[in-house]
Amino acid sequence: MPGQDAGPGLARLSLNQITAERWSVREAVAGCLQAGIPNIGLWRHKVEETGLRESVRLVREAGLGVSSLCRGGMFTAEDAAGRRAALNDNRRAIDQAAELGTEVLALVCGGLVDRDLDRARAQVAESIAALLPYAQERGVRLGIEPLHPAFAADRSVIVTLGQANDLVARLASPWAGVVIDAYHVWWDPDLYSQIARAAGHILGFHVNDWPRRNPEPLMGRAMIGEGLIELRRLRCAIDAAGYRGPIEVEIFNQAIWDRPGQEVLGLLRERYLETV
């Protein structure tokens, strides 16, 4: 409850770059500096637009922490060539993360193959296992992010934190962990027991909100504090499980993307202090 807890403090706040979707890396870095946001979560397509070397220079000169790189994954494919291409793409993503100085590559694991959930889930597990030696070599941790079940068909067959924890247990490597995103997991009856179980391998925490009416899961994410998720309870549980890392505000929402970025950053900073 607000009031019973001092809040996580500004030092942990991170702008996930997609929240200011129209901005380049340069603009997002400048926006964070102006708003007093000390960390940024970068997206690969933005980094590639600006160039990797230039992106590295921009975040270093600004003194920002890079909380994560979004995103690796998309491992599932009908054929061997597709799966190999995905692994190669993920190795590039690991390289980019290492260059950018972030410890965490967030994984959106990929959707259904044919109609076979079991097969798709096996492909995800095998692919992450195959990447771990490379991730370790480059010093980058792989953060398995369970997505909301509304995305099971097209984005992620990993749909609960329990399932992600099971996967981490089987992988048995300090280079694999979970990223917990409020929007994706808030509805889960096992959420709090699974957060406790994730102690020691929580690699990221994304905040956003679920609006009262949400006809469109992909772009329906709300500004923190404007929806129904008990964000402070969730953050306290994640803290209690030992996570001390950055808290990324990540919001897919066209109306928010259409607002001036600096205004959005001011608002999210204020809401973060009030509600997270």
Taking CB under 8 A as the rule, does residue 229 contact a second copy?
yes
Q: How far does the chain reach from its first CA to its final CA, in angstroms?
A: 10
Chain centre distance of CA 256? 18
Helix (H, G, I), strand (E, B) or coil at 13: strand
* C-beta closer to a second copy: residue 13 or 159: 159
Q: CA–CA distance from 166 to each of 107, 171, 188 (Å)? A: 16, 9, 16
Binding residue for a second copy, selected from 210, 243, 252, 272, defined by CB under 8 A:
210
Taking CB under 8 A as the rule, does residue 215 contact a second copy?
yes
Q: Is residue 112 exposed (0-12), middle (13-18) or buried (19+ Cβ within 10 Å)?
A: middle
Taking CB under 8 A as the rule, does residue 63 contact a second copy?
no
* C-beta closer to a second copy: residue 37 or 198: 198
- Least distance (Å) between residue 158 CB and a second copy: 8
- Contact region with a second copy (CB under 8 A), list: 60-68, 135-143, 145-153, 250-258: 145-153
Q: Are 178 and 161 in contact (CB under 8 A)?
A: yes
Taking CB under 8 A as the rule, does residue 199 contact a second copy?
no
CB pairs under 8 A, 24+ apart, for 226-230? 226/271, 228/186, 229/182, 229/183, 229/186, 230/186
* C-beta closer to a second copy: residue 202 or 229: 229
Binding residue for a second copy, selected from 5, 126, 137, 216, defined by CB under 8 A:
216
- Cis check: omega of the bond before 71, within 30 degrees of 0: yes
Q: What is the DSSP letter of 34?
A: H
The site string for a second copy over 167-196 (x = CB under 8 A, - otherwise) reads -------------------xxxx-------
* C-beta closer to a second copy: residue 53 or 115: 115
- Least distance (Å) between residue 186 CB and a second copy: 8
Chain centre distance of CA 37? 17
Taking CB under 8 A as the rule, does residue 2 contact a second copy?
no
Q: Which residues bind a second copy (CB under 8 A)?
A: 112, 115-117, 121, 148-150, 152-154, 157, 159-160, 162-163, 166, 186-189, 210-218, 228-230
